[in-house]
Amino acid sequence: MATLVQAFEPRTGVFNQRAEVEYNVFDAADEDAVKTICYAEIPVSYNDGGYTLYHREIEIKERLGETTWKVTARYKKPDQTDPDAPRPDPQFAFDTSGGTQHITQSLETLGSYKVAGAVPAPNYKQAIGYDGENVNGTDITVPGFKFSETHFFFAAEVTEAYKKKVANLTGRINPDIFRGFARGEVLFLGAAGSRQGDDSDDLWQISFNFARFPNTDGFTVGDVEVGAKKGWEYYWVLYADAVDDAAHSIVRVPKCVYIERVYEYGNFGDLGI
């Protein structure tokens, strides 16, 4: 079975623009066996002091014996004019820590209590915190899903026009399916980019941040049946006085529910990810 052994310390040149690493291959019967072990075991990238070279080229330099070979692996910075030039793999992260939301309606009133012998407690149709004038509501913790993606770009791709596109997309929602999420569920929270060095071959590292809130097919607020609502659309409740005959009271109950579009749609394809 063929064996690959690094022969010498890597050689670098032209301010970390190139690197060469020499190897010896033992017990390889022919060039095909040499290629197989080289492409399997020689790293596809080379890092030297924070500079990473991605373009790997392998050359069989010399046959030293019947089954012994000398091989050189060369690395260099990718050509930015080639859109298919290799770059680091993107990175992905997510956060489900959730957040808070102010609500004025509960999902269900589980009980109400009154003084013995008094008329029944007024039925406010799940309205929370009515003080005689206003429905004050309460803050609750709601599920949240935030995710981010870090991608690497050539300097020539991160133009001023591209930066403006990304900035203009901040606070927009997806008009089409994005990362498996339906139209209207994903909100772009913005991006942060950094670049180490000012050489034309130094890559930009840009993290894109998103939040997702699910669409709903319909729900009920008090006695009001509400239709479908996109995730980032906002709904609010108009309350009105009503008579609760059993409690001999004037109560505030939901009269109308409004669904508002508060975010513009944006073409997430302009992010280039």
Q: In angstroms, how far is CA 78 from the centroid of its own chain?
A: 26
Mean pLDDT over 198-204 rounds to: 74
The stretch 81-96 carries a mean pLDDT of 75
In the chain, what percentage of residues exceed pLDDT 70? 90
DSSP one-letter string for 248-261: TEEEEEEEEEEEE-
In whole numbers, what is the pLDDT of the chain averaged over residues?
86
Segment 8-32 shows an average pLDDT of 83
Asked whether the beta carbons of 185 and 210 are under 8 A apart, the reply is no
Q: Is 268:173 a contact under the CB 8 Å cutoff?
A: no
- Kindly state the tokens that stand for 158: 């991160």
CB-based contact 12:19 (threshold 8 Å): yes
With vertex at residue 91, the alpha carbon angle to CA 87 and CA 94, rounded to the nearest 5 degrees, is 165
Positive or negative, the CA dihedral 27, 30, 35, 36 is negative
Q: How far apart are the first and last CA of the chain?
A: 42
Distance, in Å, from the CA atom of 34 to the CA atom of 27, rounded to the nearest integer, reads: 9
Is the pLDDT at 202 greater than 80? The verdict is: no
Over the Cα atoms of the chain, what is R_g?
32
Q: What is the bridge-based pairing of β-strands 99-103 and 219-221?
A: unpaired
263, pLDDT greater than 90: yes
Helix (H, G, I), strand (E, B) or coil at 207: strand
Q: Flag whether pLDDT at 15 surpasses 70.
A: no
For residue 35, the SS3 value is helix
Q: Which of 7-16, 21-30, 168-177, 241-250 has the lowest mean pLDDT?
A: 7-16
